[in-house]
């Protein structure tokens, strides 16, 4: 349930009373689904009509705790009420001082997108206009079908929309874009993250049969266990669509053996004076230039390093110098 606002109000009242040193008296409550509403808007029946509540003098609040009209209450709605204390006889209507309309996800709709109207904030699915808000969550499992906004939805895509429980319009709490077809293959591999650039993660290359994996895509539907950073050793579970590898889940992996390096590692700090896909040159504060080889195993702690950046480079001590890792460094004095 998304909003038990009435209950939160009661807890706040209790906390305030406790801080003030006053004893808290629990108010009578009733909660349930509306089965019927009196035509004169005097009574509301909940739980199949077993409980009848007099709302003639109650304040009505909507799902956002705003004042509302009793005419907004409809059968099927979920409501919470504050009952006035008193002695009630069996079958006698309970008198409510507050009736709160609750809102929660209540259903889904799955189908092809017929139209998208960004200005109106709607998408039409199975002929039904679905409203989208700033809180609508977008998800997808392949890069070509992974929208982040209403404007990125494509006519013809098949989607599942989870509705937010609004009783006056169909409004999306979240939307999932269904992949167009089954994956060509599923793979699992263990490697080290070397670079993260947007939704493309580069890794130390892994050879799997005839397939060589040096990078993969991450989408809003990718499950990432814990906080994964560049340099982490990870297990990747992915789907393959043509030449595109998309991670479905990423988990931190345990190293079985120490990661021995064949050469000593030396740290260099300086300003980048030249950089290409194959090498990078820096000048330290004495003016001495050092050139380092870049390869597929170089780890980038700084995204898109460029000329003028002050960096720290960990390199293998042999000729030619080979960069193991590039990170941002503090500017030189």
Task: Indicate if 107-177 has the same CATH topology as 5-102.
Answer: yes
Tens-digit pLDDT profile for residues 286-329: 889 999 999 888 999 888 899 999 999 998 877 888 899 999 98
- Which of 2.40.50.320, 2.60.40.1930, 2.40.160.20, 3.40.50.2000 would CATH assign to domain 185-252? 2.40.50.320
CA distances, 172 to each of 80, 106, 225 (Å): 23, 11, 27
**What are 217's two structure tokens?**
């895509």
The percent of residues above 70 in pLDDT, for the chain, comes to 88
Q: Work out the end-to-end distance of the chain between its first and last CA atoms, rounded to an integer number of angstroms.
A: 56
Q: Which CATH class, in words, describes the domain spanning 265-328?
A: mainly beta
Using CA atoms, how far residue 65 sits from 116, 132, 137, in Å, is: 31, 21, 23
Coil vs helix vs strand at 315:
strand
**pTM over the 0.85 mark:** no
- For residue 331, the model assigns a pLDDT of 58
Calpha distance 124→319 (Å, rounded): 63
Task: Say if residue 48's pLDDT is above 80.
Answer: yes
In this structure, CATH architecture of domain 107-177: Beta Barrel (2.40)
* Domains of the chain, residue spans: 5-102, 107-177, 185-252, 265-328
Taking only the tens place, the pLDDT of each residue in 243-260 is 899 999 999 988 766 555
Query: Which CATH number is associated with domain 5-102?
Result: 2.40.50.320
pLDDT of residue 326: 92
């Amino acid at each position: 349930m998304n909003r038990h606002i009435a209950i939160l109000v009661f807890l706040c009242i209790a906390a305030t009373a406790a801080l003030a040193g006053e004893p808290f008296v629990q108010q009578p409550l009733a909660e349930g689904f509306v089965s019927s509403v009196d035509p004169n808007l005097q009574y509301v029946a909940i739980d199949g009509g077993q409980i009848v509540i007099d709302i003639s003098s109650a304040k009505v609040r909507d799902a956002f705790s705003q004042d509302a009209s009793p005419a907004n209450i409809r059968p099927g709605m979920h409501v919470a009420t504050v009952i006035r204390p008193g002695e009630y006889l069996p079958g006698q209507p309970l008198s409510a001082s507050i009736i709160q309309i609750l809102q929660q996800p209540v259903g889904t709709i799955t189908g092809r997108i017929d139209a998208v109207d960004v200005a109106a904030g709607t998408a039409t699915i199975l002929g039904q206009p679905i409203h989208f808000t700033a809180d609508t969550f977008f998800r997808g499992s392949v890069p070509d079908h992974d929208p982040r906004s209403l404007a990125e939805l494509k006519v013809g895509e098949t989607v599942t929309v989870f509705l937010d429980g609004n009783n006056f319009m169909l409004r999306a709490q979240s939307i999932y874009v269904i992949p167009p077809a089954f994956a060509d293959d599923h793979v699992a591999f263990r490697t080290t993250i070397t670079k993260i650039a947007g939704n493309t993660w580069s890794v130390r290359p892994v050879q799997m049969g005839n397939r060589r994996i040096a990078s993969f895509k991450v989408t809003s539907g990718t499950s990432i266990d814990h906080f994964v950073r560049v340099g982490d050793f990870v297990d990747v579970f992915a789907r393959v669509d043509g030449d595109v590898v998309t991670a479905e889940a990423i988990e931190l992996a345990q190293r079985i053996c120490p990661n021995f390096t064949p050469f000593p590692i030396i740290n260099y700090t300086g300003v980048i004076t030249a950089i290409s896909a194959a090498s990078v040159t820096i000048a330290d504060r004495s003016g001495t230039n050092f050139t380092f080889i870049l390869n597929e195993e170089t780890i980038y702690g700084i995204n898109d390093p460029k000329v003028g950046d002050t960096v720290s480079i960990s390199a293998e001590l042999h000729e030619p110098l080979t960069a193991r890792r590039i990170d941002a460094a503090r500017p030189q004095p």
